[in-house]
Structure 1
Amino acid sequence: MKKRIIPVWMLFAASGILSAQANPSSGENYIYTKTNLSDPSLPGTPKIAETVQYFDGLGRPSQVVSVKASPSGKDLVTQIPYDPFGRQAESWLPAPMATSNGAIQSGVGSAAQTYYSDNFPFSRNNMEASPLNRVLSQVQPGSDWQQHPVGLEYEVNGGDVNKYTATYNYSTLQSSISLSGTYGENQLYKNTATDEDGNVSIEFKDKGGQTILIRKMLSAAEKADTYYVYNEYNQLAYVIPPLASVSGALNQTTLDQLCYQYKYDERNRLVEKKLPGKGWEYMVYDRQDRLVLSQDPNLGTASNSFNTPGWIFTKYDQFGRVVYTGFFASTAGRVALQTEINNMTSNSENMEARSSTPLTLNGMEVYYTKNAFPTTGMTVLSVNYYDTYPSGAPSLPTQILAQEVITDTAASGITTKSLPLASFVKNIEDNNWTKNYSWYDKRGRAVGIYSFNHLGGYTKTESLFDFSGVAQQTVTRHKRLSSDTERVITENFQYDAQNRLLVHKHQVDTNPEEILTQNTYNDLSQITGKKVGGVSVSASLQNIDYAYNIRGWMTQINDPQNLGSDLFGYKINYTVVEGMETPNLDFSSLKVKPKFNGNIAETVWKTSTVPGDHLRRYGYVYDGLNRLLAGFYQKDINPSAKEYFEKMDYDLNGNITNLKRSAYVDQGNFAGIIDILAYTYTGNRLNTVTDSSTDYRGYPDTSGTQIEYDNNANINHYQDKGILNITYNYLNLPSNIIFYKALYTRLGVKRENTSYLYRADGIKLRKTYNYAPFNPSGTVTQLKTKTTEYLDGFQYESGESLKGQTTALALKFIPTAEGYYNFENNKYIYNYTDHLGNVRLSYFNNGSSLEVVEENNYYPFGMKHEGYNVLAGNPAYKYGYNGKELQTESGMYDYGARFYMPDIARWGVVDPLAEKMRKHSPYNYAFNNPIRFIDPDGRSGKDIIILTANGSFKASKDLMYKTAEGKRIWDKYGSSKTDDIYINSSVFPKNDRTMAETYTLTRKESFLNDNKISNIGKTYPSLESFEGLDISKSGDKNVHLMAFNESFFTNEVSEKYTKITNSPTLGEVKEEYDLSDLTKVVYHETKAHIEDRTGDADQDHKKLGESKFQGYITPNSPMDLFDKQLIKIIQLQNEEKYKSKK
């Protein structure tokens, strides 16, 4: 029976709603989707995005046409073929084709081959010959990958998996673990994935679907095992990382130093946990299962920001929104406090309400009651206001950039109800506050954000949005002090018909407007050209060209072998090696090989800083765990000189055990060795670093003095670096670093201390450095002070003054999209950055030519090369490696959540999100692969090789874009944070059940049972607080990283998805999912598991048996917003389908 689908546009044709549009092929089954990117009621040519999805006679998607979606006006056409068994074995890349105005196209395959200049513009799944259709191998697009597939095997275990048993007593909270031999053969599912470079990953699961072991093969004989151990209540009780798993049976010392330990109360809430090397952390909840109190080891002593033992508290209103937070001074333990909260009779809901009479707490008037726990001993750190603005708020403007601003009392009914309106944040080290206010237009978009800083000044940012919510202009007004002259930064943006950014202009005060960028794109919307700088569109300072391979990975920034007028050229080689295979014969077994799994084989660069400068490159070597073993530097005139190399050894957790590093050729033919470092550990804690090179150019000492830690496992004493003591605030950020004075002879300066001022949300506000120049006579010189202030991107610095005295702070610079604006000489400084965001070369227009300010080149782990690129640079601008600020006094880079030490390639603080990557040391940097990964804020590595898997994001986005509210939600909570998450569906077995379990029951609850949503589980206060929630302290259980397995679905762009599973107890089960399911899964698996790092997460499953899974949606969370909007979209679609049937 032929399925007849009436296109959506026909439903509106009679009313004349639609203007000129696509013309799909008649006689074909299709769905036509149109999204207005501009207001259709306004005169002129409207901006629209149109897609036509065609179906064959069986109702299967056959072709997708994105009408005139390319910058040149071509259609982007994706063909969807099937094998003789009706399986989609190939997933083709889109082909740009001359527009047919939405009509179905022929010759798509050959067009794709022509465009990509490759016979294989598609990925291919080789499936087993069974109804399960399990994938046996996957081959990625491109000729280079045809001989390098991903292999998948489905087996059962042998006798080589340890069987750990955990027991737990709720009443005593006593937990124990024992080794009970090994699992019997055929008791566990064993799924093996072998990536394109032969690296093997094996996952073992029990019959209930719980992961028991993840095994990574370092070599054929060496493995790195991470065990997950559950107690008798199926709660995750222990995680045993590789370095601990080699011990077999575990004693308490090994557990405390290397393992993750979890304890729960009788309501299944995580109440105690211990991370490797840290003390115990505690959580207390109210009757609604909301986290009320949390305490880490430092907070449990008087050695914290508040100089007394206590807890961080959180208070909520009647809607579960966070209203204020702070520190609660108390020596009481967790059990006592939990009992006290359980027994509350007054205000048993444990909530606060708005009050017209303020409380004065820590220098701030708080317009809330003080009835929820706790009511005494409070130091308030933040206050949030919703619905109505608090007393003292600035006057509400009627318009912002010609956009009407809504009020909290509007007679029209369009008010600020439910919106976050104000947020006040206290400084940790004093009682000064930052006050933030948000103004909204009628669509609920924040068109104005006013921030009044702790010094009395302000930063006001106003935005002009178009119909689809894209910013057309932003105006930022800033004063450091209320008495200062206001600075005004104006930015204007121009877009093409599909909202691709074309021109970005920038203006400081009334100075001439600068054109930061003019972008050009290829037919796939990848940026291929960027004109940078200048005041005229026809006279840019630099023209930057970009190139990509068939996988979409960047391969080139300009051409380093043919610079011409370009100042910098950079090339990335993946599947070819152009340099030497064995650059350093001292390590003849370490060979630079082509890589196919996303690792980078080589980087090549050249600059125009010096006429005739050399072509330089790094060749990289990796082990079976994708860790960087060596980075070998080669210069074209002497590639075997052994200059600037780094060579590393690791233990099974990824702690570096040895590091060897060279510098430049000083004399003779070979470079000098500057570091031969040997590391010793207790667990993951670094004890000593001994340098046998006796050279101070790398690691600053050779003595190997003992390194010390506080209770939170933060380094607080590091004599080799001249650090006598580091004091941390409650966010584990350094508040004061005291230096050894004895080292000033070698360092050329006598460092006294560096102190920092932070807000309670972790924003750095000030740095004060006390020091004295070196005096050869040895006499005491008077200390001097230099202060740096950070205010919303505006960076100030004082001149040198005697300690205790002050000098005026001058505005030095503000960042721009392409570098920074230097207020000292009123110049735009432009930065060339590489694929990691490293600042490689900075330049400006001196009026007659381009002048290079500085050139930076780095060792793989971030130390800067010395011996060339010796330009002085801008002393005030210290942003370099990964674009982070170098703290020159300590030699560390500030990433936000932690400080990084490039000389030893480690952090000094445990990762706040260590539970996201428990098989790695919590001190490792970028998974020990700093060529492929970066760490944006010091909390988690991010893959810069962005692999967006097979169209799921596009399909999900298209569905959400069917309504304006859906688009707003996706733009705010979906694409803005999940588009850049590394998702590689190729490395996970097809029969992984994560996504199916998520929707076995929740789909029915959400869409079939009168659209009722099952609100089971915890409640988060609001969308904004959900986004900022520190999941590591939230009490969420079973924290783990969830694999996103897109290969569940036989189609990535169709309406229906089918999965057939073979259940041991139910037999063959056929499960159907639609595009809304896929959209929610995409959002859930990325937002909840990859971004928020939870296990029992938003819209997650709770296993109730082989066939039953209970899902829940957290009220007031982004997922809740997604779900409700999807219901509306599905209702609209059902109505349309009903009409089409009639």
Structure 2
Amino acid sequence: MKNKNLLMLMFLMLIAVVVDAQTKKNIVKENYTVLGSSTLEATESIVLKPTTWIKYGSNFTAKIVEESNLFPYSKPQFSNQNYIYTQTFQIATKTGNISYTKDVIEQITYFDGLGRPMQQIGIGQSPEAEDIVTHIDYDRIGRQDKDYLPYVPTVGANGLYKTDALTATKGFYKTPKYDNTANPYSQKQFEASPLNRVLQQAAPGNVWALGSNHEIKFDYNTNTVTEVALFEVSLDGNYIPTLSKKGNYSASQLYKNIVKDENWTTGNKHTTQEFKNKQGQVVLKRTFDNQPHDTFYIYDDYGNLTYVLPPLANGQANSISTTALKNLCYQYRYDYRNRLIEKQMPGKEREYIVYDLLDRPVLTQDAIQKSKNEWLFTKYDVFGRVAYTGIFGSSLNRAVQQTQFNAKKGISNKNYETRISANPYYTNVNYPTSGLEILSINYYDNYDDFTTVKTITYDSNTKTSTTRTKGLATGSKVKVLTTDKWITSISYYDDKARPVYIKSVNDYLNTVDVVESTLDFVGKVEKSKTIHKKIGKPYIVTVDIFKYDHTGRLLTQQKRINNQASETIASNMYDKLGALKSKKVGGGLQDIIYKYNIRGWLTDINDVANTNKLFNFHIGYTEGANPLFNGNINQTKWRTNNIDDSSLKTYSYTYDALNRITSGIDNTADKRYSLTGITYDKNGNITTLLRKGHTNNGIPSFTFGTMDNLVYTYDTNSNRLKKVLDNGNDNEGFKDGVNQTTEFTYDLNGNLISDANKGVTSVLYNYLNMPTKITVIGANAGVLDYVYSADGTKLQKIKTVGTNVTTTDYAGNYVYENNILKQFNQPEGYVEPKGSGWQYVYRLTDIWGNTRITFADDDNNGSVNSSEIRREQNYYPFGLEHKGYNNSMYGAKNNLKTYQKQEFTEDLGLNTHEWRYRISDPAIGRFWQIDPLAEDYMYNSTYAFAENKLGMGVELEGLEIVSWDFLIASGTTHSQSNPNGAIAHATGYVSGVKSSVEGTVNAIMNPAQTLGGIGNLLVAGALGGNTGMMLQADAALGTNSLGTAEALGEAISQGATDVISGNGLERGAVVGNVVTAALGAKGTNIALKGASAVLKTTPLATRSVTAANGVKVSGFTKHGLNQKMNRGVKSSSVLDAVKNPLKTGGVKVDRVGRPSQRFTGAKAEVAVNPQTGKVVSTNPTSTKKAARLKRQQEQ
């Protein structure tokens, strides 16, 4: 009878059915017994060992199921309430008839008799296809004082109004998983006045509840007579400004808004005071850390931001010295048309901008370019799109150059270039026409000039592409600097203007790259095929397959390389609300479990009590003797399964009142890895630092003590580091190579050009402020040469030590050393050659993205243990690596990505991290170059690392800190494998605005251009970057989400809008970074602005933003998006309008029954469909209207 049952089992295993996507992949049963009823389900195989016994008469079923979550669809039911029901189809359909829940995403919002939303239901949107319900209620006078978290009811997916939603919400969160939370909502306390201003904002969670004293507190006042210094700007006949101090503002002349964060107790610490004038301009931002830290914003008579005085510049009683003004302050000059024509950043010489008659920036020049008689130029086509950019040799000054453009009047003077049939396939009729070196070229509308690219093919099975390419970016050419070589890219689109085939030819590295993509109806990547060919080397063909659940959450990513068997890179599981709860990497080599607190902050990566998993990590916020409530991490614990030392290790962190790290203390008896005594000046420049650690090289064994006891000296009134004195040990950590008055020097752009302690005698930079040659003398003598493409992509590093030369090629995703492939990246690590095949190597990372464990299944037995850990890495704050334990390492040293996923350079004793846009020195916690986004953080040192706020987020590619709130809101903290998620967009954007940043420039100069074209240019030629990630980022551009085309395209267009028509502050934050880039080789700095904006707008795209009245705003309709782009309304203005409206209108319904509600903000009027959460219309708010509404609020 036993055999009979097994035969029946074999038959049943042939039956494929469809169930939950989180079903196990493979099941192996030994000593398995069935006495009654039992069912086994797996997606690939079920194996019962011979010891299995199934009792006769038992009901046993084994099923091989699909993992695509094909839940059968049933029409939702509706309660007898006012409601708006929305279906967003995920497949093409003419009839609307659907079979499975994956084919449509449904939502219903119920309204009360006053037209207010009272319940929102995502029908069947949980991973188990249950409803996700958000309860909405109002206080007794109609204000929404509580924003409830969503919950999943037990009644399934039916769309019915849940009468017990309030009770059910509280019950859902009153569990250990959610910290037994009694207040599953954020709550506002309003002042007792018709203004309804918020006095306190409490977050969900018991420790943040209203009355806990851990709320964010607000106060509203006006200035006193001694509170704010009054600065004035006078302009001469040539509009040259002069700054003077005129005492103080009279009492009650400024609005004073006060914010106290969740760590505030008493006094002014953790307090921000913001003073605004009657035009709504910020005059002063004041923060406190024992003493005030003041940043003044000073405007001319026309309202243009003319000076910004950071905190370190404000220690002088009656005036700002010339030295302080030059070295610490931001200065801007405008012409008679209020266009920014000159600017000077702290520690950097003056920069110049020239405009054409259409107010487009066409020439820019920094101080180093001025010394070489060079300008960066941009030329446009007839539609205002960037045609080509480059370097223009001319000794004429800015005023004379402007005169040249002002003279180009009349019909006969064309201010654009047209396509021709000869290389470079554009005319050269608009000034300048001589002395040009072209660095980048953009092509649009057709493929007429890409014969050479199209002839390079490889087994192309590309789907038929559209011939309707008018308005689309079809290709680009980017020059390799200091050579005559080019990187040429071409893109083909489907009928929705989404790129489906991208090819890039790199003549310098002799590589060809192709990406072919298969997209579903809504733009998700289902399949990505990448082909890489280096001349003289075999083809590398990778195919990635992505599977999603019924709402678009990534379930699995599989990768196949050439003919090798597929590898499951990652397999994700989600909790009821859709948060990532586990991820299996390497086909289950490691199962990573994630836990979060009630605010969504990551608390655990596995369990530190577990001694079996390779890496376990805990993050504390409010626990222990020093609880913190504003998001700063106060403690981390970790345990690895390393064979040398698997003990529990701890770091406890402290911060000052400005959230700058002051210490990280470990749990060893002698505190041997502690970092303490960190102090700062008012700008955030480190002044002292004490680091304990190893004091020798480990031979014969490690000894520990005071590794570094650093004292920093800066140039007078400057952010520039002049000298570091180490009163500790000079063998490790910071190595105090000399004791000189001046040990660090800089060029005219503020770039470090020598470091006497490291023996660095010279650093040369290109016009993008990226190092091209580093010369070192002494014990580590040698030379490093770098080669870049014109958009700043690093292509090659050449190390020369004596007669030994090592050349590293960065061919996009592929790294070669001395022409031998070393590795290429995959989302959870990298791949390295192994014999005739490939070895997948995986990284386990912490919350910062630091690589902590690198491992591989080298014996191919389907599991890993401590003996297969290739390397363990742990870090001090700022990125210096621990030594003295778990130092064993085997295999090729291929892990290029270490601290926060950046490449660590040990060459020539530099010991630096090479970020995308700057170089940082972890021993002293600073960057070598000025921050390209410095104007977004004027209160901070231009060289500071992540604003020194290491407990609040991660550094974005050497640009700025990205907070945990963004990572959580975008659902990207640990979901690198999602090719359509926000992190894919941001990562792909930041790392991939490479061979085609001209597309970004085009997006800036022509924000109304077809979004598909804008998006494609972010990808075209980006095979000089992470090809898979770039394709995935771009593929999502076919949607109308703020996180995709909107966040990328509009974020960039914002740069141009700010430059051309924005106010002074906006211009100050863009021009020079944005414009210099726009004019110079495809706009690297524009990419920086865009990257910043992407991260700032993505949360609205990925998880929605709750408007002031509780409406969830998640994106744009096509009409609303086009309006926004054409009318120059920024995403930041849209966000401000819905979250902080000056006026909220009632819900109105048009003739065809479409509801909308208008939010009037300071800079935008936004109409939102409260049922769908989509912005349907946008307009800029008139200055008079905004001022009137502000006055009404403040009365």
**Bin for the TM-score computed over the shorter chain:** 0.7 to 0.9
Matches within 5 A, 1:230-245: 230-245=299-314
Segments of structure 1 that go 5 or more residues without pairing to the other structure are 1-18, 303-308, 359-364, 408-414, 535-539, 582-592, 745-749, 773-782, 799-808, 957-963, 984-993, 1003-1018, 1036-1040, 1060-1067, 1087-1097, 1111-1142
SS of aligned partner of 1:96: coil
Between the aligned partners of 1:727 and 1:923, the Cα distance in structure 2 is 18
**1:122 and 2:185 matched:** yes
1:692 match:
727
State whether residues 235 and 242 of structure 2, in contact with CA within 8 Å, keep that contact through their aligned partners in structure 1. Answer: no
Asked whether the equivalents of residues 53 and 65 of structure 1 are also in contact (C-alpha less than 8 Å), the reply is yes
8 Å contact from structure 2 (residues 187, 202) kept in 1: yes
1:373 aligns with 2:383: no
The one-letter amino acid paired with 1:503 is: T
**Secondary structure class of the residue paired with 2:92:** coil
Return the offset for 1:1078.
7.8
Give, in angstroms, the shift of residue 1050 of structure 1. Answer: 2.6
The one-letter amino acid paired with 1:685 is: R
Any idea what SS the aligned residue of 1:840 has?
strand
CA contact 1:124–1:139 (8 Å) conserved in 2:
yes
Please report the TM-score for the alignment, with normalisation by the length of structure 2: 0.75
Matches within 5 A, 1:927-966: 927-946=947-966
Q: CA deviation at 1:693?
A: 1.3
* CA contact 1:860–1:930 (8 Å) conserved in 2: yes
Q: Which of residues 883, 888, 898 is equivalent to 1:866?
A: 883
- Give the deviation of 1:1069 after TM superposition: 7.4
Q: 1:1042, 1:213 → 2: CA distance?
A: 26
State the distance in 2 between where 1:765 and 1:660 align.
37
Q: What CA distance in whole angstroms lies between the structure 2 residues aligned with 1:44 and 1:1044?
A: 32
* Equivalent residue, structure 2, for 1:917: 937
1:737 alignment partner in structure 2: 774
Q: Report whether the alignment pairs 1:47 with 2:103.
A: yes
User: Given the alignment, which residue of 827, 834, 840 partners 2:839?
Assistant: 827
1:701 Cα offset (Å): 1.6
Instruction: Pick closer, same or farther for the CA change 1:254–1:856 going to 2, 3 Å.
Output: same
**What SS class does the counterpart of residue 95 from structure 1 fall into?**
coil
Q: Which residue of 2 aligns with 1:764?
A: 794
Give the Cα–Cα distance (whole angstroms) in 2 for the partners of residues 419 and 216 of structure 1.
47
2:563 alignment counterpart: 510
2:471 corresponds to 1:405: no
Question: Residues 547-583 of structure 1, C-alpha deviation per residue, up to 9 Å, x if partnerless?
Answer: 111111111100011233x100001001102xxx5xx
8 A Cα contact 1:607 1:613, kept in partner: yes
Matched ranges for 1:163-202 at <5 A? 163-169=229-235, 171-198=237-264, 199-202=270-273
Change (3 A) 1:1084 1:608: farther
SS class of match (1:530): strand
> Are residues 1:532 and 2:549 paired?
no
Q: Is the 8 A contact 2:969 2:1099 kept in 1?
A: no
Aligned to 1:568: 615
Counterpart in the other structure of 2:118: 62
Aligned mates of 2:1048, 2:272 — CA distance in 1: 24
Indicate how the Cα distance of structure 1 residues 673 and 823 shifts in structure 2: closer, same or farther if over 3 A, else same: same
Counterpart CA distance in 2 for 1:669 and 1:641 is: 15
For 2:54, the equivalent position in structure 1 comes to none
Contact 2:710 2:724 in 1 (8 A): yes
- Residues 1:440 and 2:488 are matched in the alignment: no
Give the deviation of 1:406 after TM superposition.
Answer: 1.5
- 1:515-536 deviation digits (Å, cap 9, x = unpaired): 11111000111111111113xx
* Cα 1:1104–1:130 shift into 2, 3 Å: closer
The reply to whether residue 101 of structure 1 matches residue 158 of structure 2 is yes
Partner of 2:646: 613
The answer to which structure has the higher helix fraction is: 2
**Residue type of the alignment partner of 1:158:** T
| Unmatched tracts of structure 2, length 5 or more | 1-71, 176-180, 265-269, 972-979, 983-1010, 1016-1034, 1063-1073, 1091-1095, 1116-1132, 1134-1141, 1149-1154, 1167-1177, 1191-1195
Which of 285, 288, 299 is the aligned partner of 2:358?
A: 288
For residues 1059-1138 of structure 1, what are the structure 2 equivalents within 5 Å?
Answer: 1103=1183, 1107=1187
Which residue in 1 is equivalent to 2:341?
A: 271
Instruction: Give the Cα separation in 2 of the matches to 1:416 and 1:340.
Output: 35
Q: Which amino acid letter does the alignment assign opposite residue 149 of structure 2?
A: L
Alignment CA distance shift 1:662-1:948 (3 Å): closer
Q: Is 1:974 matched with 2:1037?
A: no
Which residue type is aligned with residue 401 of structure 2? Answer: L
Within the alignment, does 1:645 sit opposite 2:675 as a pair?
yes
Letter in 2 for 1:917: Y
**Are 1:556 and 1:570, in contact at CA under 8 Å, matched by a contact in 2?**
yes
The 5-angstrom pairing of residues 570-969 of structure 1 reads 570-577=617-624, 581=625, 593-610=626-643, 613-635=646-668, 638=669, 640-664=670-694, 671-682=704-715, 683-705=718-740, 706=742, 707-740=744-777, 742=778, 744=779, 750-772=780-802, 783-798=803-818, 809-824=819-834, 826-847=838-859, 848=861, 850=864, 851-873=868-890, 874-889=892-907, 890-946=910-966
The CA distance in 1 between the partners of 2:745 and 2:295, in whole Å, is 28
Closer/same/farther in 2, CA of residues 453 and 703 from structure 1, 3 Å limit? same
Task: Name the amino acid aligned to 2:852.
Answer: R
1:504 deviates by 0.5
Whether contact under 8 Å (2:774, 2:785) holds in the other structure is yes
Contact 2:695 2:732 in 1 (8 A): no
The offset of 1:882, in angstroms, is 0.5
Cα offset for 1:834?
0.7
Residue in 2 that maps onto 1:470: 524
Which one is further off, 664-673 or 92-101?
Answer: 664-673
Residue 204 of structure 1, aligned match among 258, 261, 275: 275
Cα separation, 2, equivalents of 1:472 and 1:1082 = 42
1:351 matches 2:415:
yes
Does the 8 Å contact 1:506/1:514 carry over to 2? yes
Work out the number of aligned pairs and report it: 953
Q: Report the CA distance between 1:869 and its aligned residue.
A: 2.3
Q: Cα distance, 1:830 vs. partner?
A: 0.5
Residue matched to 2:1173: none
* Residues 1:145 and 2:199 are matched in the alignment: no
Instruction: State the Cα RMSD in Å.
Output: 3.9
For residue 341 of structure 1, give the secondary structure of its aligned residue in structure 2. helix
- Are 2:792 and 2:1084, in contact at CA under 8 Å, matched by a contact in 1? no
Of 266, 278, 284, which aligns to 1:213?
A: 284
1:183/1:22 CA distance change after superposition, 3 Å? farther
* Alpha-carbon distance change, 157 to 1022 in structure 1, aligned in 2, over 3 angstroms: closer
Distance 1:1071 1:1077, change over 3 A: closer
Tell me what 2:446 maps to: 388
Q: Which moved more, 1:65-74 or 1:875-884?
A: 875-884
Separation of aligned partners in 1, 2:1097 and 2:561: 45
CA deviation vs aligned residue, 1:874-905 (integer Å, no higher than 9, x gap): 32332200100011122111111111110110
Q: Distance in 1 between matches of 2:207 and 2:944?
A: 32
After superposition, what is the alpha-carbon deviation per residue over 1:270-316, rounded to whole angstroms, capped at 9, x for unaligned?
000000011000000000000000011111113xxxxxx21000000
Q: SS state of the match for residue 369, structure 2?
A: coil
Cα separation, 2, equivalents of 1:761 and 1:655: 30
1:134 aligned onto 2:229:
no
- Deviation of the 1:823 alpha carbon: 1.3
- Look up the equivalent residue of 1:784 and give its one-letter code: N
* Amino acid of the structure 2 residue aligned with 1:145: W
> Which residue of structure 2 aligns with residue 247 of structure 1?
316
Letter in 2 for 1:119: A
- What displacement does 1:594 show? 0.8
Asked if 1:485 corresponds to 2:538, the answer is yes
CA distance in 2, matches of 1:60, 1:601: 41
- Residues 335, 914 of structure 1: CA spacing in aligned structure 2 closer, same or farther, 3 A cutoff? same
* Equivalent residue number for residue 505 of structure 2: 452
